[in-house]
Amino acid sequence: MDDLAATNGTNTANGTNGVDGGAGSPAESRGSRAQPKTDKSEQTRALILETAMRLFQERGYEKTTMRAIATEAGVSVGNAYYYFSAKEFLIQGFYDRMTYEHAADARNRMAHTRDFSERLEIALASWLDTAAPYHEFSAQFFRTAADPNSSLSPFSNESHPARATAVELFREVLQGSELAPKLDAELVDLLPDVLWLYLMIVVLYWVFDRTPDTERTREFVRRSVPMAARVINLSRYRVFRPIVRDAKGLIQDFILPTIGKTAVK
């Protein structure tokens, strides 16, 4: 609360989320102002974000204040709030940046294969590699992210830019594979969201994994991907169509409506 008093009105930001797909640069966090894209403003924003990530690692999320972040970054508290209207939006900025980096890395890795199972495993393994430096303090704000009313929830409206980038990546995983033309068109449209939910299961397992280099999570990915690929492949056969339609209806009626800014078709 003491930090809020120092903002001098700068915490009424109205920035917009700029990523809805995989292209372009990472989106600004929802709490940041709509500001000119100058080199200096981008450098200041990145400095504040990187400083916050370092302090979260050193002191923990709860014990790190916006004032401390501003001091360490060498900017005023008001300037810190100019770019991020609350501490939680620093995490949103981190999510956006990491998701963008993950998507770029995964695209590069899977560029030379059309096998769906291989592409899916590459995308998931790429996420684990991208997130690895942040594993030690990931559990510190998992409590907040698990709150369905928190903007840090992966299902929230505020998390839409990062989620949209990830969903678009999984759309590319499928559509760039040999399997996509063989599947029902409606299923192809729905699967990217389902694969993102699969990633969320992997992330949950990863948060609590304390094995060296999160090897247990990596083994979970290696063993579960072929199973998921086989199930998706079987869905193209006529005998499984009724089950596929039931599953599709279940996902559309009960799962997708809980995800912020997800249109139900």
pLDDT tens-digit readout, 97-106? 999 999 999 9
Residues 218-232: b if buried by 16+ CB within 10 A, e if exposed: bebbeebbeebbeeb
Angle (nearest 5°) at CA 200 between 171 and 139: 145
Q: Considering the entire predicted model, what is its pTM?
A: 0.78
- Residue 242: how many other CB atoms lie within 10 Å: 9
CA–CA separation, 120 vs 172, rounded Å?
10
Could you read off the pLDDT of 21-74 as tens digits, one per residue? 444 444 444 444 334 456 889 999 999 999 999 998 888 888 899 999 999 999
Query: Do residues 141 and 61 make contact, with C-beta atoms less than 8 angstroms apart?
Result: yes
Who wins on pLDDT, 184 or 205? 205
* Mean pLDDT computed over 230-242: 87
| Mean pLDDT taken over the chain | 83
Query: Do residues 155 and 148 make contact, with C-beta atoms less than 8 angstroms apart?
Result: yes
Could you read off the pLDDT of 106-144 as tens digits, one per residue? 999 999 999 999 999 999 999 999 999 888 878 776 777
Report for 126-140, 158-172, 234-248: range of highest mean pLDDT: 158-172
CA–CA separation, 32 vs 41, rounded Å?
12
Check residue 252 and give its pLDDT. Answer: 79
189's CB contacts (< 8 A; 6+ apart) are 265
What is the number of helices (H) and of strands (E) in the chain?
A: 12, 0
Tokens found for residue 104: 């770029």
Check residue 37 and give its pLDDT. Answer: 53
Check residue 136 and give its pLDDT. Answer: 82
CA–CA separation, 240 vs 197, rounded Å?
22
Check residue 261 and give its pLDDT. Answer: 60
Residue 237 sits at φ, ψ, to 5 deg, of -85, 140
Check residue 150 and give its pLDDT. Answer: 81
Share of the chain above pLDDT 90, in %: 52
Closest CA to 96 of 148, 32, 139: 32
